[in-house]
Amino acid sequence: MTDDAAVLENQRLEIRLLLEAIYHKSGYDFRGYASAHIKRRLDHVRARNSIPSFCEMIHRLIYDAGFFDEILQALSINVTEMFRDPEFYRAVREFVVPHLKTYPFIKVWHAGCAAGQEVYSMGILLDEEGMRERAQIYATDINPQVLEEARRGIYPLEAVRQYTSNYQKSGGIASFADYYTAGYESVAIAADLKKNVLFSPHNLVTDGIFGEMNVIFCRNVLIYFGDELQDKVIKLFLDSLCNGGFLCLGSKESLRFSAHADAFEVVDAREKIYRKRAVRVPTVQGEP
Amino acid sequence: MRAVAIGASAGGLDAIGRVLEALPADYPAAVLVVQHIAPHANDTLARRFQRHCRLPVQEAEDKHPLLPGIVFIAPADFHLMVEPELRLSLSREERVNYSRPSIDVLMETAAEAFCSALTGVILTGASIDGAAGLAAIKRLGGRAVVQSPETAEVDIMPRAAIAACTVDAVLGLDEIGAFLARLGYEEPC
């Protein structure tokens, strides 16, 4: 083993201990996250604060209340756009919405909703399909700061050109400008689109199921999890979906490597839309 | 298992094609490629490189186990990383050297996963991305190959890489292909 390889081993140990400390101090459990990702993010925080080692971050974490928040912000990645991946929204209109229309009332869960762009995109889509009045939408995220941004629904004006182009490519049937009010430097999402949306904190790693969802969106969240944690969260989604409910992942995520792959059928392999297979409840013969 | 990480920017489409062309159908190393590309580009890169390559070429999917003899291409607008248990992972964290995917991110994480079993290759480009990554590969005992600046469509990236570490070879594209083809059959360390 070269000296540098030995350093690497020791660093891995330090990171394991730091993640334990974060868990015991805050209750946030990052121990099952993808380790290459975790190391890069923690190293950013370490370098920015001129802390010599991961181990020395443990002391700071325990005694400095603001430091955990800095770590939480660094570990939460919230890059997205409205109607990001227009072809995905087109596929939702084509393959998912017709099924939803057969229900009198639907429940939708955006797991890891970040600053809300996906929530409002789906809100617009459901509105245009005449479904929004019949939908209860749950939007959750681990990070209280971005959840507050999602609630506000205010986005920079310079992002709107891209949002508009995405919306048009996604098969939108109205004018995107109908859905926001423009200010000097930002736009505010129409208040109407916030009706029926419940924003709340939820941690996919440590919190429980959301019952009987018709659709779950969890796009570009699982990529930050290690394979075992991914499996655990996919099981959580499986248990939160009604029979025939849909699971929508990010375009580069897949159920292919999951232990629960067989519990879903593939609706659109390219856009990563899956559907929970019906589970028959076994009836026990001879019992009252 | 051995692995090869290839990074290119401006001029990379042809250069990567030329290098992949040289790899034999039974190549026993995993190949990882970052080509800088616009964020809204679709997944045509893998199909494009497949035309030049006897190995299967795939756009990288998150948590795909790394397998020898497959070429994985970083998707547009995602960083491609290698996890220590030899799976791929993707990330949308901020750009590095103005790029997502970034060559440094791939090479630094792959170096930590493969140590001396990794070879890094820097090709043409108008960026300094890849220089720090190649240096990380060298630090952890791997090998570094750079396209000779005189033969590169844009020489900034090869020059930055050569300045950042002691490289093992500076070669033209066809020689790089031959070098990698040979390397795949060496005993893994």
Give the model confidence (pLDDT) of B123-173 as tens digits: 999 999 999 999 999 999 999 999 999 999 999 999 999 999 999 999 999
Which residues touch A116 (CB under 8 Å, ≥6 apart)? A139, A149, A150, A151, A153, A189, A199
Instruction: Give the pLDDT of residue A173.
Output: 92
- Report the number of distinct structural domains present in chain A: 2
Beta strands in chain A (DSSP E): 106-111, 135-141, 154-156, 180-182, 186-189, 197-201, 213-218, 241-249, 264-268, 273-276
Residue B106 contacts residue B74 (beta carbons within 8 Å) = yes
Q: Per-residue confidence at B183, pLDDT binned at 50, 70, 90?
A: confident
Is B114 within a domain?
yes
Cβ atoms within 10 A of the Cβ of A267, count?
19
Q: How far is B174 from chain A (nearest CA, A)?
A: 32
**B141 vs A contacts (CB less than 8 Å):** 2, 4-5
Q: Which domain holds residue A7?
A: 3-75
Residues A97-154: pLDDT tens digits?
999 999 999 999 999 999 999 999 999 999 999 999 999 999 999 999 999 999 999 9
- Report the number of distinct structural domains present in chain B: 1
Q: How far is B126 from chain A (nearest CA, A)?
A: 25
The answer to whether residues A178 and A53 belong to one domain is no
Is B188 within a domain?
no
Helices (H), ranges, A176-226: none
The answer to whether residues A158 and A219 belong to one domain is yes
Q: Which stretch of A77-91, B6-20, B25-39, B40-54 has the lowest confidence by average pLDDT?
A: B40-54
Instruction: Give the pLDDT of residue A210.
Output: 87
Q: Which domain holds residue B50?
A: 3-183
Q: Check pLDDT > 60 for residue A287.
A: no
Last residue of a domain, one of A75, A108, A127: A75
| Side chain identity, residue A116 | G
Q: Is B129 one of the annotated active-site residues of the chain?
A: yes
Q: Per-residue confidence at A284, pLDDT binned at 50, 70, 90?
A: low
**B80 vs A contacts (CB less than 8 Å):** none
Q: Check pLDDT > 90 for residue A37.
A: yes
**Cis bond leading into A98, ω under 30°?**
no
The answer to whether residues A200 and A59 belong to one domain is no
DSSP string, chain B: --EEEEEE-TTHHHHHHHHHHTS-TT--SEEEEEE---TT--THHHHHHHTT-SS-EEE--TTPBP-TT-EEEPPTTSEEEE-TTSBEEEE-PPPBTTBSS-HHHHHHHHHHHHGGGEEEEE-S-SS-TTHHHHHHHHHTT-EEEEE-GGGSSS-HHHHHHHHHS--SEEE-HHHHHHHHHHHTTSPP-
Instruction: Give the pLDDT of residue B83.
Output: 97
Q: Check pLDDT > 90 for residue A279.
A: no
Instruction: Give the pLDDT of residue A5.
Output: 77
Is B97 within a domain?
yes
Is B189 within a domain?
no
Q: How far is A167 from chain B (nearest CA, A)?
A: 14
Residue B43 contacts residue B5 (beta carbons within 8 Å) = no
Average pLDDT over residues A60-68: 94
Report the residue of A43, A223, A272 to disrupt the B interface, i.e. the one with the largest count of B CBs within 10 Å.
Answer: A223
Q: Check pLDDT > 80 for residue B178.
A: yes
Q: Which stretch of A21-30, A279-288, B3-12 has the lowest confidence by average pLDDT?
A: A279-288
Q: Is B99 one of the annotated active-site residues of the chain?
A: no
pLDDT averaged over chain A?
94
Residue in B43, B129, B148, B174 annotated catalytic: B129
> Across-strand partners of A1?
none
3-state secondary structure of A271: coil
In percent, the amount of chain A with pLDDT more than 90 equals: 90
From CA A73, how far away is CA A70, in angstroms rounded? Answer: 5
Cα B111 off chain centre by: 12
Q: Per-residue confidence at A288, pLDDT binned at 50, 70, 90?
A: very low
Q: Per-residue confidence at A92, pLDDT binned at 50, 70, 90?
A: very high
Report the residue of B43, B77, B92, B108 to disrupt the A interface, i.e. the one with the largest count of A CBs within 10 Å.
Answer: B92
The verdict on a CB contact (< 8 Å) between B82 and A36 is yes
The verdict on a CB contact (< 8 Å) between A254 and B61 is yes
From CA B4, how far away is CA A272, in angstroms rounded? Answer: 29
The answer to whether residues A149 and A42 belong to one domain is no
Beta strands in A38-130 (DSSP E): 106-111
3-state secondary structure of A215: strand
3-state secondary structure of A189: strand
Q: How far is A283 from chain B (nearest CA, A)?
A: 38
Instruction: Tell me the CATH number at B88.
Output: 3.40.50.180
Taking the Cβ of residue B112 and every Cβ of chain A, the question of whether any pair is shorter than 8 Å is answered with yes
The verdict on a CB contact (< 8 Å) between A252 and B61 is yes
Residues A153-205: pLDDT tens digits?
999 999 999 999 999 999 999 999 999 999 999 999 999 999 999 999 999 99
The answer to whether residues A145 and A38 belong to one domain is no
3-state secondary structure of A234: helix
**B81 vs A contacts (CB less than 8 Å):** 34, 36-37, 40
Residues A9-22: pLDDT tens digits?
999 999 999 999 99
Instruction: Tell me the CATH number at A251.
Output: 3.40.50.150
Last residue of a domain, one of A50, A75, A100: A75
Q: What is the reported pTM? A: 0.93
Instruction: Give the pLDDT of residue B187.
Output: 61
Degrees to nearest 5, angle at CA A260 with A257 and A262: 95
The answer to whether residues A129 and A221 belong to one domain is yes
